[in-house]
Amino acid sequence: MESTIYFFTGTGNSLKIAKDVAEKLGDCDLIPIAKIWQKENLKSESEKIGFVFPLYYSGLPKIIYDFIEKIDLSNSEYFFTIVSSAGDVTELPLQQVNTLLKAKPKAKALNAGFLVTMPNNYIIGYDIHSEKRQKEFFEKEMNQVKQISEIVKNKKRNLNQDIFEKNLGRAERFNAKFREDVNKSDKNFYAEDNCNSCGICENVCPVNNIIMIDGVPEWQHKCQQCLACINFCPEKAIQFGPGTLKTQRYHNPEIAIEEISNQKK
């Protein structure tokens, strides 16, 4: 394949973007990071490499950081990243990806970076967007995909060096603390009595962090905080502390639940 897109998703936003870009590019392999991130001797052979993922705590999700740090990209020459978020994005994730690429044995660099606004799924902090607002995001995403695909097809740069030179130390420390603590953050999840033991939470967890014990989900402290479990629960039985008792649930309407479950298989 000329291009490979590696993606990570919890509720489907990043997968929707990755699928749309891959379709526009053609000759593009779409690989879920959750399926391969723990394998040894990871190596890509494609000329163009893309990373598509959601923004977590101002920067990279832990699984993305660990994956890019680990994979051998010596045979690849052009790199782009697409960060999905509900807003309030800094250049930190672009800086982080660039830094990880530069640290490779054959130093690489991030050639293009894109920030795509999608509906909020971070319901442990904020409620979801209205259906009207979600539709606006989806329409804008399709226009951005066209622009992104043209830039990547032609191997163009869209990043100025000053992006990588900005002092974002405070945001970096914030994100680093998140990555350090995230695996055990699942101690705040619990299932209420209306849990019907359907096992959907276990199936959609991309890192196999949930197991059903006597029909009740239990979290195994290797969480990535993707929030698939809480957003896909059909009974709204899963909560994260007291805050989610009042929030609605969200997952991308164009991504089937099987696509979320299959990213780890």
**What residue ranges of the chain are covered by domains with CATH 3.40.50.360?**
3-177
pTM of the model: 0.97
For residue 23, the model assigns a pLDDT of 98
Point out the residues of the chain with pLDDT beneath 50: none
Fold (topology level) of 3-177 = Rossmann fold (3.40.50)
For residue 88, the model assigns a pLDDT of 78
CATH of 182-262 among 2.60.40.10, 3.20.20.450, 1.10.150.120, 3.30.70.20: 3.30.70.20
For residue 40, the model assigns a pLDDT of 93
For residue 264, the model assigns a pLDDT of 93
Structural contact between residues 35 and 46, judged by C-beta atoms closer than 8 angstroms: no
Long-range contacts of 122-126 (CB under 8 A, 24+ apart): 122/86, 122/227, 123/227, 123/230, 123/231, 123/240, 123/244, 123/247, 123/248, 123/249, 123/250, 124/188, 124/227, 124/230, 124/240, 124/241, 124/243, 124/244, 124/247, 125/243, 126/86, 126/247
Structural contact between residues 215 and 196, judged by C-beta atoms closer than 8 angstroms: no
Phi, psi (deg, nearest 5) at residue 78: -125, 130
3-state secondary structure 219-230: ECCCCCCCCHHH
**What residue ranges of the chain are covered by domains with CATH 3.30.70.20?**
182-262
For residue 87, the model assigns a pLDDT of 86
Torsion, Cα 201 206 212 216, to 10 degrees, reads: -30
d(CA 155, CA 18): 17
Residue 17 has which token pair?
């973007």
For residue 89, the model assigns a pLDDT of 80
d(CA 32, CA 63): 11
User: Using only C-alpha atoms, what is the Rg of the chain?
Assistant: 18
Residue 26 has which token pair?
């053609």
Token pair 């974002």 in the structure block, residue: 168
